[in-house]
Chain A
Amino acid sequence: MELFKPIVEATVAGDEERCVALAQEVIDKGVDPLQAIEQGYTKGMAIVGDKFSRMEYYLPELIRCADAMKAAMDVLKPHLGKGQDGGVQGTVVIGTIQGDLHDLGKNIVKTMLQAAAFTVHDLGCDVQVRSFIDKAEEQDVDVIAASAILTTTMAYMPDLVNLLSDMNLRDRFKVMVGGAPVTPEYADEAGADGYGENAAEAVETAKRLVQSRRGGA
């Protein structure tokens, strides 16, 4: 489709105006909006993600591209068929675990998840283990994401997993952990399903977890 290439280009350029205009064109010309998303905008964002991981793009550029795509989505979504969510990747509840006030890293993970089309519920910092679970149930999320930046507060991560088990909810949600002291080994020991060293990895992990949850469930 001749429209897809310019859509990819506009997304990679982070050109919001053009992304929106092209979305309008998709509708006007009767092109399948889902295809436009998958072969245009999402493909563009994949290139953006790639440029970011090669350190060609900086975080603000990545966010700008994501915003441009989101604006186009707003135009396309009303035209999507029933049951098509237009590329929403999944839902995440995120927070910095109890006793810990470091929320900067968590905020960046949140921003990147949103940029990657996740719906994110942010509980802030110093979040009780129980509150993660309550919110997860309430919003029926795919992933519970917990951040800890202190060695001491990292110790609550196993508690989160154990409490989920005690409440017979372990299979219902995927648990992803991260933050400065957390290592892949620790994430394993804590019983988490996934880990990310940085925000970009967090996004990759979240995507994987959503897939396995939806595929496996």
Chain B
Amino acid sequence: MAGVNMAHNPNLTYLSRAQAEKIHAASLEILERVGALIDDEESAALLRKASVAVGDGDTFHISPKLVEWALSVAPKRIVLHNRNAEPVIPLEPGRIYFGLGSDCLFILDHRTGKRRQATLQDVNEAIRLADALPNIDFLMSAVLPSDVPTEAANRLQMRSMIENSTKPIMFVTNDFDSCLDVVQAAEFVAGGAKLHEQKPYCCCYINVTAPLRHNVDSLQKLLFLAAKGLPTTYTPMVLRGVSGPVTSAGAVALANAGELVGLVLAQLKREGAPIIHSGGYGDVFDMRTTTGAYTGPESYGVRTAMGAYYGLPIFGLGGSSDSKLPDEQAAAEASLTLLFETLGGANLIHDVGYMESGKCYSLEMLAICDELISYIRRYCQGIEVNDETLALDLIAELGPEGDYLPTEHTVNHYKETWYPRLFNRNHYDGWLAEDGLTLHRRTQRRVEEILQSHTPEPLEGKIKQEIEAILG
């Protein structure tokens, strides 16, 4: 079974109930007092129809009552399906799934070790690798190809994801038009719009200009998807100290307010529209290097706690790094962020394999994270405590200096222990004889092996043709 099941494990409670309520109240106050700019006509009309007050400068001042209504009608559970219409990703409390990120500008070529502009071939390989990796549950495009016409890029990413894997898809499109085609393709695979609505094979990741400024493309996508009953995120981003307060509580309250605008609009368009909520992205701005950092400790905990407070499916971010190479820093940042997000209960954790704060993608990093996720999954399984696992009779039988190795109990249970596939536990000389490599170098080889050997389940010829006709 894929994903992490935390049924046996206590979640991490990062915020007290009172703290979460206070942040929620702050988001409500921001929406009512400051208001949001809405750059799309239909969205503005929906808000006016819902009697939202319009202030000076065309700000929409959304009342707490309207937000509470939207929260009460938004679905608490969303199920994503794979290409074969199987319900593989139920987004519900305690179920955690992992996927790639999208659209990186550069890729670290695992064959040469060099950083270069990304191509369509890189998308294909990333998706093929993701298809093969057992702990990667859903797809995103990894990189934005630079070797295809700009207008075609998002469509070709989608085509690659459909053709090279059966896993569920989270897509990103820059413009509204590509979004229409991408959804049409997914619907075709699912056997029509109606079936796709019941068993969504894809969901969307929308980024909004700012918490209180909502751009037209994002709003059009949101309303289109809401009308179709298809799941999407709707995430503005606050860069702390630059486009919002530098402090966690304020940054998250502001970003969360922006997400709530999307939630309200989606529900006004169609009551019950499925929204994946992040709880408010407040990224750290590094005041020394002037970069946006993905893995600052302040970015973790609060956001997922807010998601949990709402009880909506939670969007997360982990398995990423601010490092330039899949080095020690990258492994550390990936481990910590995957663990924080999992324990925080994020249902859909994306950006696995991101380097350089989302600017560069690494296939080795994706494969290393696959190993980390399997480790975390084992940890989250918890333990069984019963007569068999306590093995009291055995302990008594063997006495103070017992040799447990030859016992049937050991034989029966040793396979329950987690074993690494990339991490090395060998003796020193054994390690030298095996390959004598660092994790990064070993993973480079592993990635190439998988790409050489893995063939994804082929797409039926007729469907393939139609997908090509739609997406180019």
In the complex, chain B residues whose CB is within 8 Å of the CB of A198: 289-291
Q: Is the CB of A152 within 8 A of B287?
A: no
- B234 CB to closest chain A CB (Å) equals 15
Decide if B146 touches A104 in the complex (CB within 8 Å).
no
Among B274-305, those with CB < 8 Å from A are 285, 287-292
A107 in contact with B105 (CB, 8 Å): no
When the two chains form their complex, are residues B144 and A108 in contact, meaning their CB atoms are under 8 A apart?
A: no
A152: contacting residue among B174, B215, B290, B292, CB under 8 A: B174
A101 CB contacts on chain B under 8 angstroms: 209, 215
**B243 contacts which chain A residues (CB < 8 A)?**
104
Q: How far is the CA of A199 from the CA of B359 in the complex (A)?
A: 17
Q: How large is the interface on A (under 10, 10 to 19, 20 to 34, 35 or more residues)?
A: 20 to 34
Binds B, one of A5-13, A17-25, A55-63, A79-87: A55-63
Residues 175-201 of A, flagged 1 when their CB comes within 8 A of B and 0 if not, give: 000001100000000000000001110
Asked if A151 lies at the interface with its beta carbon under 8 angstroms from chain B, I say: yes
Contact B242 A180 (CB under 8 A): no
Closest residue of chain B to A52 (Cβ to Cβ) is B288
Kindly state whether residue A120 has any CB partner on chain B within 8 Å: no
Check A59/B287 contact, CB under 8 A, given A104-B242, A150-B174. yes
Report which B residues bind A (CB closer than 8 A): 105, 117, 144, 146, 150, 153, 174, 209, 215, 239, 241-243, 285, 287-292, 359
A151 touches B290 (CB 8 A): no
**Nearest residue in A to B217 (C-beta to C-beta)?**
A101
Known contacts A152-B153, A155-B150; A104/B289 CB under 8 A: no
| Cβ distance B293 to chain A, nearest Cβ, rounded Å | 13
**Alpha-carbon distance between A150 and B239 when the two chains are bound, in angstroms:** 18
CB distance from B220 to the nearest CB of A (A): 14
- Let me know if A58 and B287 touch, CB within 8 A: yes
- Specify which of B117, B153, B290, B359 is in contact with A59 (CB 8 Å cutoff): B290
A-side residues, CB < 8 A to B, are 52, 55, 58-60, 101, 104-105, 107-108, 112, 150-152, 155, 180-181, 198-200
List the B side residues contacting A155 at CB < 8 Å. 150
Interchain CA distance A108-B285 in the complex, whole Å:
11
Most A CB atoms within 10 A — which of B174, B239, B292? B174
Q: How far is the CA of A55 from the CA of B288 in the complex (A)?
A: 5
* Cross-chain pairs A/B with CB under 8 angstroms, 11 sampled: A59-B288, A59-B290, A60-B241, A104-B285, A104-B292, A107-B242, A108-B242, A108-B290, A150-B174, A180-B359, A198-B289
Which residue on B lies nearest to A107, using beta carbons? Answer: B242
Contact B105 A180 (CB under 8 A): yes
Q: How far is the CA of A195 from the CA of B140 in the complex (A)?
A: 31
* Alpha-carbon gap, A52 to B290, bound state (A): 11
Q: Are A151 and B146 in contact (CB under 8 A)?
A: yes
Residue from A60, A180, A200 within 8 A of B287 (CB atoms): A60
Q: Quick one: closest B residue to A62, CB to CB?
A: B287
Q: With the chains together, A18 CA to B222 CA distance in Å?
A: 53
Determine how close the nearest CB of chain B comes to the CB of A174; give it in whole angstroms: 22
A55 vs B102: C-alpha distance when bound (angstroms): 31
Which residues of B lie under 8 Å from residue A105 when comparing CB positions?
290
Tell me the nearest residue of chain A to B218, going by C-beta: A101
A192 to nearest B CB, angstroms? 18
Q: Pick the contact of B239 from A60, A104, A151 — CB < 8 Å? A: A104
Q: List the 5 closest pairs (A to B, CB-CB), nearest first.
A: A58-B287, A59-B287, A55-B288, A181-B105, A152-B150
How many Å lie between the Cα of A59 and that of B239 in the bound state? 14
Question: Which residue in chain B gives the minimum CB-CB distance to A155?
Answer: B150
Chain A minimum-CB-distance residue to B283: A104
A180 CA / B105 CA spacing, docked (Å): 8
Smallest CB gap from A199: residue in B: B290
Nearest to A59 among chain B residues (CB) is B287
Contact, CB under 8 Å: A55 / B289: yes
Measured CB to CB, the closest approach of chain B to A94, in angstroms, equals 15
Residues of chain B within 8 A (CB-CB) of A112 are 290
Rounded to whole angstroms, the CA-CA distance of A139 and B391 in the bound complex is: 83
A151: contacting residue among B105, B242, B291, CB under 8 A: B105
Chain A neighbourhood of B288, CB < 8 A: 52, 55, 58-59
Determine the chain A residues whose CB is within 8 A of the CB of B241 once the complex forms.
Answer: 60
Distance between B369 CB and nearest chain A CB, rounded to angstroms: 23
B428 → chain A closest CB, angstroms: 38
For the complex, give the distance between the alpha carbons of A60 and B359 in Å.
25
Interface centre among B215, B241, B242 (most CB of A within 10 A): B242
State the Cβ distance, B232 to closest chain A Cβ, in Å: 18
* Chain A residue nearest to B359 in the complex (CB): A180
Expressed in whole angstroms, the Cα–Cα distance for A104 and B290 within the complex equals 10
